[in-house]
Structure 1
Amino acid sequence: MKRAEVDRCQIQEWYPKFKSASFKTRILQLPESFVEYLLDDFGPFVLPASVADEDALPNRVRNPVDEDDFQVSEGSDEDESERFPPPSFPDLELKVRESIESLGGAVFPKLNWSSPKDAAWISPSGTLRCTSFSEIALLLRSSDSLVHDLCHAYDSCSDRAASRPGSFFLALRKWQPGLRPEMEFRCFVSSRRLVGISQREVTTFYPVLLEKKDQLQELMEEFFEGRVRESFESERYAFDVYVTKDGTVKVIDFNTWGGSTLPLLFSWEELEAMGEGMAAEMRIVESQCGVRPGLKTAVPYDYVDTAPGSGWDHFMRKADEELNRHKGEPAGA
């Protein structure tokens, strides 16, 4: 994989070309100070001070009596806010607020490549729907998956010369409350040929896809030939689309071939083997037995990471040690 292939998948690169075939989006360049804030792991977790006095968790239940009764002893951590004052990004906040207003009052945030899906759990709605700068900052600051964009975007590149792009961007996409997850698909392109299409939400069986599979495949093949093939420069890549109720195909995102991109209902070996002359294959979850329950990402990374050295790995090792210790104890001990 070449760095140029990765760069083409940045939303600020592809969106201007596919604006008419995508969801309305506003893209803002992030100041380096905000990028440093997202990467700061040394100080306490603090949200930026809002010039509009916005609250990232407006629906919190508060008990004023308890707050008044709460006392902090002298010399404790009560001065932490003074030692670590919250940062402030008034210019960025103003641009974000103006963008949210122009997009109908609610947006879905993402950086150059990734969205903070793994941080949806911390949002009051359990989604990535944001109506303020503070809510956006909360999701971005809480996400582990965005570390890929910030530090590891070029890890799979054979011509890697840097670990990150020169600039980062915040894309604010108009919130679409009526989207149906069963109508989102990932298309795989090799040698500028559409070789595979996969249901995007593979953790659920949707009977309607069995009925509409051929029709949906035809719509996406026509869209690729007429709108994508000659407009996107890479030879191999993946792109995500959404099919609306009236049969319109909308581009959601572009992804690299391989690397951190999930092949979903395919394997990369299968996709690599789909040679010239072969028709594109579409795969959907065809029964409850075909669901893939392990691909949900709307939880902290440590909840799903079972690799050696991960939190779950340590937990399981401790559990095994405790079990073995009890097995070795004599009866009645």
Structure 2
Amino acid sequence: MFLKDLVNYKSIETMKISEVLNCSFSAWYPQFKEYTIKSQIIPLPQEFVDYLLADQVVLPESSVALSAAHQDEDEDDNRYADNVVDWATEDIMTPVAEPPSFPEFESLLKIAIRRMGGKVFPKLNWSAPRDASWISFDRTLKCTCPSDVYLLLKSSDFISHDLTEPFKFCTDDENLKNETTVKYELVLRKWRELNPAYEFRCFVKGNTVIGISQRHTDMYYKFIPENRKEIEGDIQAFFYHIIKDNFPDKSYCFDVYRRCQGKLVLLDINPFGEVTDGLLYTWEELLTDKPSHTEEEGEVDEITDPLLRCVESETGVQSNPYGAYAVPKDFVDIAHGEDPTKLMQLLQLKVSQQTNHPDSSSDEEPESALGS
């Protein structure tokens, strides 16, 4: 392919606002409800969106109210500590703003969590706060109460991207980007213990699956390359019978969970573009449609590049893609002396969450969770 053709081809395959909107959870969930995990959708009030975007680490008032009783007990323990120097000055410990309150939204949140069996996985229209898993006690996105949800959403750069730059990689006119209104929603998905080895990301272009990638590239699973053809066949069949004629666009990505041979669950649908992680594929080859086989004189030669890409050995394991988020930017600010207040606020939230969290002492270690 000549450079001129490559440029023209890329311009055809670039993302559009409509394609991003079609991948919003509430846009596709009703159509594929039977083939995915049970979920509840709660519209986000504008005041809650403003709260998530505010540069303050403060949980809503109702989320920290339960810790008052424990504070009273602490006062009794400290009654003999009059001569101890309190290094936490009033200027640092005092929150920069009054805790917000969302009683109606929180009531809906509690009802939804209860309906989902008491354990949920949160996300917004497109993204889940996977980059914030470092702040949870079991390092997963399992939530059992509103404060768990608040803390994960508030700590995530992925969530901020959904709220501020959902159309960043779209090629539509800038005025159209600014004028397009997004109805933001909180999605609570019923928690499931998923084996990360069974998750796959599939790339569709022109209503054809052009690539499949192991979803978690930081692990080597021997059975995947050994069962490559069976996995490819199951995914192709699932796409052809369930998704192909029921999704409005011809190019997109979808994640599936292959529980066993012939039994797949749809996890998510994402835009076909660089906003979605290409995993073991690069977007350069996906956009230019690098062939996985060659044709000569009407015959297809032996496939040189398999449709399913996976980690082939222990030496091929990649670094955890969320490792860079283990130390949040706020801590970087603190380390440079730019904002010491952030540290005190974050530690207060962490202690408050641990005090109120019903599963803080659990030894359960979930294998994986849902989302993109």
TM-score (norm. length: structure 2) = 0.72
Unpaired segments ≥5 residues, structure 1:
56-61, 304-309, 315-333
Partner of 1:201: 216
**Displacement, 1:2?**
0.9
Aligned with residue 7 of structure 1, among 21, 35, 40? 21
Q: 2:162 aligns with which of 149, 153, 160?
A: 149
Pick closer, same or farther for the CA change 1:117–1:210 going to 2, 3 Å: same
SS of structure 1 residue aligned to 2:94: helix
Is 2:314 the counterpart of 1:288?
Answer: yes
| 1:225 matches 2:240 | yes
Which residue pairs with 2:190 in the alignment?
Answer: 174
* Aligned residue among 265, 270, 284 for 1:250: 265
Alpha-carbon offset, residue 268 of structure 1: 1.7
Match of 2:228 among 213, 236, 240: 213
C-alpha contact 1:242 1:251 (8 A) present in aligned 2: yes
Distance 1:131 1:74, change over 3 A: closer
Residues 207 and 5 (structure 1), Cα distance of their counterparts in 2 relative to 1, 3 Å cut = same
CA distance change for structure 1 residues 242 and 23 in 2, over 3 Å: closer, same or farther? same
Q: Which moved more, 1:104-113 or 1:250-259?
A: 250-259
Structure showing greater relative contact order (alpha-carbon pairs closer than 8 Å, 6 or more residues apart)? 2
Give distance in 1, aligned partners of 2:181 and 2:78: 44
How far apart, CA to CA, are the structure 2 residues paired with 1:53 and 1:261? Answer: 39
- Report the CA distance shift for 1:107/1:276 in structure 2 as closer, same or farther (over 3 A): same
Task: Note if 1:23 corresponds to 2:37.
Answer: yes
Check conservation: 2:17, 2:177, Cα contact below 8 A: no
Aligned-residue RMSD, C-alpha: 2.9
Aligned residue for 2:101, secondary structure, equals: coil
Q: Which residue of structure 2 aligns with residue 131 of structure 1? A: 144
Q: Is the 8 A contact 1:184 1:240 kept in 2?
A: yes
User: For 1:106, which of 111, 119, 142 is the aligned residue?
Assistant: 119
Q: Distance in 2 between matches of 1:130 and 1:104?
A: 11
C-alpha distance in 1 between matches for 2:226 and 2:130 = 30
**TM-aligned CA distance change 1:298 to 1:54, over 3 Å:** farther
1:39 matched to 2:53:
yes
Specify whether residues 180 and 79 from structure 1 end up closer, same or farther in structure 2 by C-alpha distance, changes over 3 A only. closer
Q: Give CA-to-partner distance per residue, 1:98-121, whole Å, 9 cap, x none.
A: 111111110000001001111111
Once the two structures are TM-superposed, the CA of residue 198 in structure 1 deviates from its matched residue by: 0.4
Any conservation in 2 of the 1:242–1:249 contact (CA below 8 Å)? yes
User: Cα distance 1:268–1:166, how it changes in 2: closer, same or farther (>3 A)?
Assistant: closer
Q: Pick which of 154-163 and 8-17 moved more.
A: 154-163
Counterpart-to-counterpart distance in 2, 1:51 and 1:288 = 44
Relative to structure 1, the CA distance from residue 224 to residue 301 in structure 2 (aligned partners, 3 Å threshold; closer, same or farther) is farther
Alignment of 1:48-63 (within 5 A): 48-50=60-62, 53=65
Structure 2: distance between partners of 1:154 and 1:261: 12
Aligned partner of residue 295 in structure 1, secondary structure: coil
Q: 2:110 aligns with which of 97, 105, 112?
A: 97
In the alignment, structure 1 residue 140 sits paired with structure 2 residue 153: yes
Write the deviation string for residues 5-31 of structure 1: whole angstroms up to 9, x where unpaired.
010111111111110000010000000
Give the 3-state SS of the residue equivalent to 1:50 in structure 2: helix
Matched to 1:11, the amino acid is F
What is the match of residue 328 of structure 1?
none
Deviation at 1:245, TM superposition (A): 3.4
1:117 aligns with 2:120: no
- Pick closer, same or farther for the CA change 1:78–1:230 going to 2, 3 Å: same
Q: 1:252 & 1:144 partners in 2: Cα distance?
A: 21
What residue ranges of structure 2 are gaps of 5+ in the alignment? 1-14, 68-72, 295-302, 337-372
Measure how far apart 1:249 and its partner are. 1.0
What's the CA shift for 1:79?
Answer: 8.1
Q: Is the 8 A contact 1:121 1:298 kept in 2?
A: no
Taking only the aligned residue pairs, the percentage that are identical comes to: 38
Aligned residues: 296
How big is each residue's C-alpha offset from its partner over 1:73-95, in whole Å with a ceiling of 9 and x where there is no partner? 999338835x6210011111111
